[in-house]
Amino acid sequence: MSGLLDKAKEAEASKNVAAEVATVASETSDVVVSSSAEASTSVFDSMLAEGMGMKIGAAVVSLLVLFVGYQVAMGFSFGTGSMTIVEHSIDEDNNNLKIQIRFGNPMFSSASKDPVQISVSYGDDEVHTTTETPSSNLLNVEIPFSAFYQGNSRATGSSGSDTLYKINAVQGDLVANEYKIEPASVMDRTITNGDAELIVMSTNSNTECNGVCHDGVSMRVSMGVQDAVNSDLISHIDSDYTINAKIVYEGSQVVYTYPQITVNGYLAQWSTSGANLMSGAGSVEDSWLQLSGSNSGNFGIEYIDRDDFYQDDGCYKLVFTLDLASTFDVNNLGTQEFESQGYEYFWEYNENRDTTGENGGDPYKPTEEC
């Protein structure tokens, strides 16, 4: 009996040992799995953190690039700053020269509030100075033509060279590069030459006027300066002036008077009140201004009706006077007078000539110069 009892105790002890070993193994396995999971999570978190860091870094770099790009566009300078005269324009209504100056300041600094000394030169001669104080990185300056205008710029120098208007600007130690106003023609304001034309307007007829009815004349005037290359041409000029035009018959008899024309830059206006005209405005294009009329013909071209001016066959001219605004009459030209060539018209003869005689009767007479 004693032996059996001992064997039973040994078997129970073996079971307890096995259970303890199993428990230890299970706990060890749980620890290993937990450690593995923690290690995996740590690696993933590390990778995520590194990716996010790269993204944040890239974003910071991008913002820095954008900031520096903006600074460069706005004139950023690493040194003491910069100043540049960037553009010009003409205010025709107020007769002002408009200049824009851009300032480039060192990074993180504000625009300088120091006054800027601005000068205008005509060729090598300084003709005007003024002072302006900027409030931002852009300074817009308007200078009246009356303060500096000396005369035309185009082909007025030696050997036909241009006499340019030039702008300089100084702010403390900053000096802008000299700015030349080009093309030279934009600064031409003094008109010294003119021309005019009378253009016959006619219509064909199968029943009247011996085949050609002379309806009237279209009028146009030209103002500017003599072209530097072709002396037969007139170069266009924007300016301020008034024109008084008339049709003259046989050298002295005024047979038609056009309303006074006022030109501002290139835009022209006149009154139509009591003048029997179809329009009251026009524009000077390539030095020519087409005048209005009491009727219109081919392609809508307006003309002065024959009954408004025609006296009889003979010599007709278009004559006009021009008065510049005082600002641009720097040579004291006063009232200038220009005229067209003379036109010898044979309208009465042509419309009443005998066309039944031998060889077709009397010949048609075209317009001749007179």
Final residue belonging to a domain, choices 73, 102, 135: 73
Q: How confident is the model at residue 217 (pLDDT cuts 50, 70, 90)?
A: very high
Q: Does residue 282 share a domain with residue 212?
A: yes
Instruction: Write down the pLDDT at residue 62.
Output: 66
3-state secondary structure of 341: coil
The b-or-e profile of 304-317 (16+ CB within 10 A means b, else e) is bebebbbeeebbbb
Euclidean distance between CA atoms 47 and 222, whole angstroms: 81
Q: Enumerate residues 6+ apart whose C-beta is below 8 A from 96.
A: 90, 142, 143, 144, 145
Quote the number of domains for the chain. Answer: 3
Do residues 122 and 253 both lie within one domain?
no
- Which of 54, 73, 92 corresponds to the end of one domain? 73
Same structural domain, 212 and 350: yes
Pairing outcome for strands 138-144 and 116-122: unpaired
Which residue has better confidence, 287 or 45?
287
Q: Residue 173's domain spans which residues?
A: 82-187
Distance between CA atoms of 173 and 265, rounded to whole angstroms? Answer: 39
pLDDT level of residue 298 (50, 70, 90 thresholds): confident
Same domain, 218 and 324: yes
Residues 44 and 158 in one domain: no
pLDDT, position 13: 46
* In a shared domain, residues 175 and 219: no
Q: Which of 156, 187, 218 is the last residue of a domain?
A: 187
Point out the least confidently predicted range of 31-35, 133-137, 335-339: 31-35
Same domain? 154 vs 169: yes
| 252 and 326 co-located in one domain | yes
CATH number at residue 137: 2.60.40
pLDDT band at 54 (very low <50, low <70, confident <90, very high): low
Confidence of residue 61 (pLDDT cuts 50, 70, 90): low
Mean pLDDT of 15-44: 43
Query: Does residue 152 have a pLDDT over 60?
Result: yes
**Shared-domain flag, residues 5 and 146:** no
Residues 197 and 182 in one domain: no
- Whether residues 128 and 222 share a domain: the answer is no
Give the count of beta carbons closer than 10 Å to the beta carbon of residue 8.
10
Inform me whether the pLDDT recorded for 205 exceeds 60. yes
Q: Does one domain contain both 63 and 94?
A: no
| pLDDT of 110 | 67
The mean pLDDT of 321-340, rounded to a whole number, is: 97
Q: Quote the mean pLDDT of the chain.
A: 85
**Run of H or E including 126:** strand 125-132
Rounded average pLDDT over 342-366: 91
Q: How far is CA 273 from CA 87, 221, 250, 259, 312, in A?
A: 42, 21, 28, 9, 28
State which H helix or E strand residue 122 sits in: strand 116-122
Stretch 300-316: mean pLDDT, rounded?
97
